[in-house]
């Protein structure tokens, strides 16, 4: 039945060929790169040549892609078709972004791929390709791939040699996506019969113990990142690795390899079953040309397009018929991954699944870094999970609030009107107000529309609970939850007070370092007789000119456990390398080092300007009076620097307080959210914990209140400093 | 002034050289990543590449899109247009507003200045949703104009504060003298005040330029045409779901940072002294 429908759709699309060529192209958004992008371009060209319908592709950065979709589609300016993995389907569905796949015929695709796209019995989107993990084997080092974990364990000692930096196996062990296969292989379940996540299980403990044992015996590298795994395999220093089809393009041409399914866990007889991800072509619920959009999504998921995606894009098609084509069937990589995907567990597209990542990451890292025993980690994850899972607070009536706002407006206007009239008429008090208005209006209009309105909206969001695109008014419930630290004790990383303390420590340490380093350098550089002064100044300003997300990424690399330059320096100095992100103190220090590097030039420049404005005569007079250098610094330099430095310090402290990029990109809150500051915590609630915008906004309002108190305090400081100046 | 002793000078030079090396070390790593043919990793403190290739730069610079257009050139152009227009719009608005706030008596002035500062304290991440809706109402989605307006207005609070602080330090006598000579307020503003405020103008312009030049989330969200993406969006494309193309990312990062560094170099004379950071006299 649906096959006929599909054909009918295709026919409609074909007849559109006759339509005038002035029609606007269909919009297709994706985040593919390299070969996958090339394949998609070719597939859409095929579609255009068959149907005459033009397709306009837009490739987006992965980091900005989801936010762009959720903003654009509800406003009716999104794409007709977009490609995304299936994990977020439930989210997209709840926000009414995706249309049911009316042109889909189930039998065209592998059953588990279609199942992954089901919500309440309805299929959304057309499955394009399968993503799951398999075992890459360096055939020179491992002629016979292991079929069971016992066979694997028997091989690993001979293949590993810590001294030479060689490992039998490498994979991103700290990432739950990679660990999930072990969990299922050891008989663990992620969800109980009611669909609630459960972590404190035997399978969890056994799988964690297995992996921890691999790491303790140095069979796998610690803190492995994708880049590390890749270079180990390419250098022949990792005999086997676990990764997905995207890795094939990364392998150096001189490495002989093959891909096989993951081994069977000997203890249970169950294969290691990784997650199955399905790259999907979704039709937007708001597409104005739904028929053509369905035809396009269906077209790129099947037939000729599958062949192109397999051969050019190296994707694993979800299309059953693709495997009858000789060039796909005989492609060992693709057919091996197809085999591996047979055992894979389709990743649930539920909201529950989205809540699992953070607790699992916490547990996994706690075990691998030695902070927790494998059998205790499940309880740890369970606790975090329950803290993150907020029940929807009861709806509150907005009426008292509207009443309050009304009363305040009324009171305000009464106050203004009843204020004792000044003896001077308005015109006399503000003689040039007409002129002033002309000067200010353009800026005021812009700021009002694009700064104050979003600001007010942001503030008021904090009174709402957001779930799947719908806002419910809940009054102060969000604030109550945060301030009462509901679900976790005050001394835990997730609590507002703990995070506030970390944030204050962060701001103070940074500002002190920025100012002292900046001032020190300024004192060195102020001497006009110093040679090469300009050169030094330019070199020292460089950190300020580098965008801070680049700074953050490069420092993150420098703090890497095994390949970071900082540990390189330590080893060169005969010191022990440090595992930076496993302890609060070192992770915090890494963040501070990065932010100090980034922030001292600003303070240096301000201090230089201020130093130059101090009259030289003061020092000469002090010299005559026999004052020492230190006395001069204490009694002339510091007091005279104060008026210029204070505003800079205030501004700097506000910036540091909200320095999201450094925390998020360098430590990422490791270990276990300990180094998160308030603003990164707000971001997590907004974007990583099921879009709880209201809760995140409440966090932001609290940040705002803290800063208001701080600025009131500093204003007093400034006032007293200007009194000192007379 | 006493001539400092030779020994002291040598000590200062040594200290500064050491600190410059510490400052440059991370930058050298980016250069190394950009120039190394593979991202082969090894535990080393040596920030110099062993083999050098310009392949990453070539790939970043010569990227073309599906239609065979030279995307990098267009994106560079878009970046220059966006950052340039942001600077122009932001500076024009900020200069006139800051001058009025510094020189005229206006009802609610103090409150307005505080309100400007206060907006800087609210985390920007949550403002995206309302900004998107507002731009749609104004029909400015998917247009460089809309992007420029957003950048310019978000940079305004800092710009106004910095300029007002500087204007406050300029003596009023010069302006009064000009008025005596028959100049209008506007003439005084353009002919007397602006030339005196050059250092502060330079710093404020640099700040606006950097705001627009480095940003990528808003640009990627608001624009729908790859040829009009700004360079940081293109740079962010090298950071994927499963892997980061470090070599190209590093090469791109250097290309993106270079113009800002050049501007810093050109404006460094004004940088010192033009930055009053909120006004010496408050």
Task: Please give the ipTM for the structure prediction.
Answer: 0.85
Q: How many CB atoms lie within 10 A of CB A170?
A: 25
Other CB atoms within a 10 A radius of the CB of residue B220 amount to 23
Q: What is the dihedral of CA A186, A192, A196, A201, to 10 degrees?
A: -40
Taking a C-beta distance cutoff of 8 angstroms, is the pair A718, A646 a contact? Answer: yes
CA angle at B234 for the pair B232 and B236, rounded to the nearest 5°: 70
Contact status, residue A124 vs residue A287, Cβ threshold 8 Å = no
Structure-block tokens of residue A396: 């509150």
A539 and chain B in contact, CB less than 8 A: yes
Find the helix packing angle between B109-119 and A693-725, rounded to 10°: 130
What separation in angstroms does the CA of B227 have from each of A329, A724, B231? 38, 56, 10
**pLDDT value, residue B280:** 40
Distance, in Å, from the CA atom of A77 to the CA atom of A79, rounded to the nearest integer, reads 7
* CA distances, B75 to each of A164, B67, B80, B116 (Å): 45, 15, 8, 32
The angle at the Cα of B206, spanning B200 to B209, to the nearest 5 degrees, equals 140
DSSP A38: H
Peptide bond into A618 cis (omega under 30): no
Residue of A nearest to B235 (CA): A61
Measure CB to CB from residue B273 to each of A246, A612, A620 and give the nearest one: A612
Close Cβ partners of A684 (under 8 Å, ≥ 6 residues apart): A358, A669, A676
Do the chains contact at A538 and B265, CB–CB below 8 Å? yes
Q: Contacts from B64-68 at CB under 8 Å and sequence distance 24+?
A: B65/B226, B65/B227, B66/A41, B66/A57
| Contact yes or no for A71 and B4 at CB 8 A | no
Q: What is the pLDDT of residue B187?
A: 86
pLDDT, residue B281, reads 36
For A540, name the nearest residue in chain B, comparing CA atoms only: B20
Residues of A in contact with B280 (CB under 8 A): 643-644, 647
Q: What's the Cα-to-Cα distance from A159 to each of A86, A167, A683, rounded to whole Å?
A: 37, 6, 43
* Closest-CA distance of chain A to residue B253, Å: 7
Please say whether the dihedral angle defined by the alpha carbons of residues A681, A685, A687 and A689, taken in this order, is positive or negative. positive
- What whole-number distance in Å separates Cα of residue A389 and Cα of residue A420? 54
Flag whether residue A650 sits within 8 Å of chain B, measured between CB atoms: yes
Q: State the Cα–Cα distance between residues A663 and A360, nearest whole angstrom.
A: 21
Question: In whole angstroms, what is the distance from residue B76 CA to residue B79 CA?
Answer: 5
DSSP A89-118: HHHHHHTT-B-B-TT--GGGB-HHHHHTTE
Q: What SS3 class is residue A237?
A: coil
Q: Which of B169, B243, B248 to mutate to test the interface with A (most CBs of A within 10 A)?
A: B243
Backbone angles phi, psi at A289, to 5 degrees: -120, 65
Residue B136 near residue B150 (C-beta atoms within 8 A): no
Structural tokens at position A58: 């837009």
Spatial contact of A273 and A343, defined as CB atoms under 8 Å apart: yes
CA A35/CA A269 separation, integer angstroms: 37
As a whole number of angstroms, the distance between CA B255 and CA B262 comes to 11
Q: Is B21 on the interface with A (CB under 8 A)?
A: no
Side-chain half-sphere CA neighbours of B269 within 13 A: 2
Give the closest-approach CA distance of A3 to chain B in angstroms.
32
With tokens 């006929």, the residue in question is A4
Whole-number pLDDT of residue A14: 45
Mean model confidence pLDDT for chain B: 83
Whole-angstrom Cα distance, residue B78 to residue A299?
A: 34
One DSSP character per residue, A597-664 reads HHHHHHHHHHHHHHHHTS-HHHHHHHHHTT--HHHHIIIIIHHHHHHHHHHHHHHHHHHHHT-HHHII
Which chain B positions have a beta carbon within 8 Å of A707's beta carbon? Answer: 121
* Neighbour count for residue A35 (Cβ, 10 Å): 17
Per DSSP, what are the bridge partners of residue A464? A473
The CB-side HSE value for A431 (13 A sphere, CA atoms) comes to 1
Q: Across the 726 residues of chain A, what is the mean pLDDT of every consecutive 10-residue run?
A: 47 46 82 88 94 91 88 90 91 90 90 90 93 93 92 92 87 92 91 85 93 93 83 89 87 89 92 92 93 94 92 90 88 87 85 84 88 88 82 78 84 76 66 79 86 85 80 84 77 84 93 93 83 84 85 84 81 85 90 92 86 83 86 85 80 85 85 86 81 85 86 76 48
Taking the C-alpha atoms of residue A373 and residue A625, their distance in angstroms, rounded to an integer, is 69
Q: pTM (2 decimals)?
A: 0.84
Kindly give, in sequence order, each residue whose CB lies less than 8 Å from that of residue B8, ignoring residues fewer than 6 positions away. Answer: none
Written as one string, the DSSP assignment of B71-109 is HHHHHHHHHHHHHHHHHHHHHHHHHHHHHHHHHS--TTH
Which residues face A470 on adjacent strands? A467
Mean pLDDT split into 10-residue runs, chain B, 282 residues: 71 88 87 77 68 84 72 90 94 91 81 78 74 89 91 88 84 85 85 87 89 87 87 86 80 90 82 58 34
Q: Rounded CA gap, A113 and A130, in Å?
A: 7
Pair of tokens at residue A459: 């503030």
pLDDT at A17 (0 to 100): 47
pLDDT at residue number A183: 93
Beta partners for residue A82, in sequence order: A29, A282
Give the model's pLDDT for residue A714: 78
CA separation for the pair A315, A608 (Å, rounded): 57
CATH number (1.10.3720.10, 3.40.50.620, 3.30.1360.70, 1.10.10.10) of B69-274 reads 1.10.3720.10
Structural domains present in chain A:
2-130+277-340 (3.40.190.10), 134-273+350-386 (3.40.190.10), 504-688 (1.10.3720.10)
Q: How far is A126 from chain B (nearest CA, A)?
A: 20
| A125 vs A440: CA distance, rounded Å | 52
């Amino acid at each position: 039945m649906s096959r006929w429908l599909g054909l009918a759709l295709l026919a409609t699309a074909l007849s559109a060929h006759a339509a005038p060529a002035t029609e606007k192209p269909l919009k297709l958004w994706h985040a593919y790169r390299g070969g996958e992008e090339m394949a998609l371009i070719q597939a859409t060209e095929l579609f255009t040549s068959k149907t005459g319908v033009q397709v306009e592709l837009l490739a987006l950065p992965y980091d900005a892609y989801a936010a762009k979709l959720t903003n654009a589609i509800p406003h009716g300016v999104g794409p007709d078709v977009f490609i995304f993995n299936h994990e977020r389907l439930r989210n997209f569905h709840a926000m009414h972004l995706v249309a049911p796949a009316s042109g889909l015929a189930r039998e065209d695709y592998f059953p588990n791929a279609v199942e992954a796209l089901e919500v309440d019995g309805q299929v959304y989107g057309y499955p394009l390709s399968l993503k799951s993990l398999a075992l890459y084997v360096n055939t020179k080092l491992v002629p016979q791939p292991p079929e069971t974990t016992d066979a694997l364990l028997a091989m690993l000692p001979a293949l590993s040699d810590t001294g030479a930096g060689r490992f039998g196996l490498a994979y991103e062990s700290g990432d739950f996506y990679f660990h999930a296969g072990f969990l299922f292989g050891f008989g663990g379940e992620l969800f109980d019969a009611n669909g609630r996540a459960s972590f404190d299980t035997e399978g969890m403990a056994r799988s964690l113990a297995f992996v921890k044992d691999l790491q303790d015996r140095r069979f796998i590298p610690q803190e492995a990142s994708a880049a590390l795994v890749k270079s180990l395999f390419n250098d022949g220093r990792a005999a086997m690795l676990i990764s997905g089809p995207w890795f094939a393009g990364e392998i150096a041409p001189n490495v002989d390899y093959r891909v096989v399914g993951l081994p069977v866990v000997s203890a249970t007889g169950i294969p290691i079953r990784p997650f199955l991800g399905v790259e999907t072509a979704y039709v937007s619920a708001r597409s104005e040309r739904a028929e053509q959009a369905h035809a396009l999504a269906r077209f790129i998921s099947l037939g000729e397009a599958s062949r192109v995606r397999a051969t050019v894009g190296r994707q694993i098609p979800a299309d059953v018929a693709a495997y009858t084509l000789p060039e796909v069937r005989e492609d060992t990589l693709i057919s091996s991954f197809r085999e591996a995907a047979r055992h894979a567990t389709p990743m649930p597209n539920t909201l529950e699944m989205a809540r699992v990542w953070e607790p699992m990451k916490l547990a996994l890292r706690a075990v691998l870094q030695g902070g927790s025993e494998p059998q205790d980690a499940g309880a740890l994850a369970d606790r975090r999970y329950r803290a993150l899972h907020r029940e929807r607070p009861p709806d509150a009536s907005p009426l008292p609030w509207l009443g309050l706002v009304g009363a305040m407006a009324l009171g305000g206007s009464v106050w203004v009107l009843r204020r004792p009239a000044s003896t001077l008429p308005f015109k006399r008090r503000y003689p040039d107000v007409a002129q002033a208005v002309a000067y200010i209006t353009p800026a005021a209009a812009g700021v009002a529309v694009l700064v104050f309105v979003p600001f007010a909206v942001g503030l008021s969001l904090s009174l709402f609970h957001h779930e799947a695109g719908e806002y419910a008014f809940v009054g102060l419930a969000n604030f109550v939850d945060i301030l009462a630290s509901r679900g976790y004790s005050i001394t835990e990383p997730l609590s507002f007070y703990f995070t506030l303390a970390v944030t204050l420590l962060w701001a103070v340490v940074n500002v002190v370092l920025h100012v002292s380093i900046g001032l020190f350098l300024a004192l060195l550089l102020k001497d006009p007789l110093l040679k090469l002064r300009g050169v030094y100044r330019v070199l020292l300003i460089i950190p300020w000119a580098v965008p801070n997300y680049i700074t953050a990424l490069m420092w993150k690399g420098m703090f890497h456990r095994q390949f970071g330059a900082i540990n390189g320096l330590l080893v060169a100095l005969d010191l022990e390398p440090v595992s930076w992100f496993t302890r609060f103190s070192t992770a915090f220090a890494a963040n501070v080092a990065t932010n100090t590097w980034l922030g001292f030039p600003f303070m240096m420049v301000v201090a230089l300007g201020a130093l130059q404005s101090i009259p030289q005569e003061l020092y000469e007079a002090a010299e005559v009076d026999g004052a020492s250098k230190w006395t001069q610094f204490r009694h002339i330099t510091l007091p005279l620097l104060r008026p210029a430095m204070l505003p800079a310090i205030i501004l700097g402290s506000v910036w540091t307080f909200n320095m999201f990029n450094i925390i998020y990109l360098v430590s990422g809150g490791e270990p276990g959210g300990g180094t998160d500051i308030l603003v990164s915590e707000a971001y997590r609630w907004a974007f990583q914990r099921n879009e709880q915008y209201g809760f995140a906004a409440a966090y932001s309002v609290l940040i705002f209140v803290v800063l208001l108190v701080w600025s009131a305090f500093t204003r007093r400081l400034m006032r007293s400093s200007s009194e000192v100046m007379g | 002034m006493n001539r400092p002793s030779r020994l002291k000078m040598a000590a200062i030079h040594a200290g500064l050289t050491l600190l410059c090396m510490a400052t440059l070390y991370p930058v050298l790593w980016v250069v190394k990543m950009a120039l190394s043919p593979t991202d082969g990793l090894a535990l080393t403190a040596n920030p110099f590449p062993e083999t050098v290739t310009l392949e990453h730069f070539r790939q970043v610079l010569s990227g073309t899109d599906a239609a065979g257009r030279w995307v990098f050139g267009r994106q560079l152009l878009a970046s220059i247009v966006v950052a340039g227009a942001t600077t122009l719009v932001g500076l024009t608005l900020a200069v006139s507003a800051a001058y009025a706030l510094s020189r005229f008596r206006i009802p609610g002035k103090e409150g307005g200045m505080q309100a400007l500062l206060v907006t800087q304290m609210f985390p920007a991440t949550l403002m995206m949703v309302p900004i998107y809706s507002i731009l749609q109402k104004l029909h400015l989605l998917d247009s460089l104009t809309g992007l420029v307006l957003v950048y310019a207005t978000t940079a305004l609070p800092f710009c106004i504060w910095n300029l007002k602080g500087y204007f406050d330090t300029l003596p009023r006598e010069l302006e009064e003298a000009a008025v005596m000579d028959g100049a209008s307020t506007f003439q005084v503003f353009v002919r007397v005040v602006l030339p005196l405020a050059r250092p502060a103008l330079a710093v404020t312009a640099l700040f606006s330029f950097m705001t627009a030049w480095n940003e990528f989330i808003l640009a990627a969200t608001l624009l729908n045409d790859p040829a009009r993406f700004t360079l940081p969006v293109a740079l962010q494309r090298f950071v994927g779901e499963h892997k980061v193309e470090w070599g190209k990312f590093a090469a791109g990062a250097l290309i993106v940072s270079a113009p800002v560094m050049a501007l810093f170099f050109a404006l460094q004379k004004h940088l010192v002294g033009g930055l009053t950071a909120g006004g010496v006299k408050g």
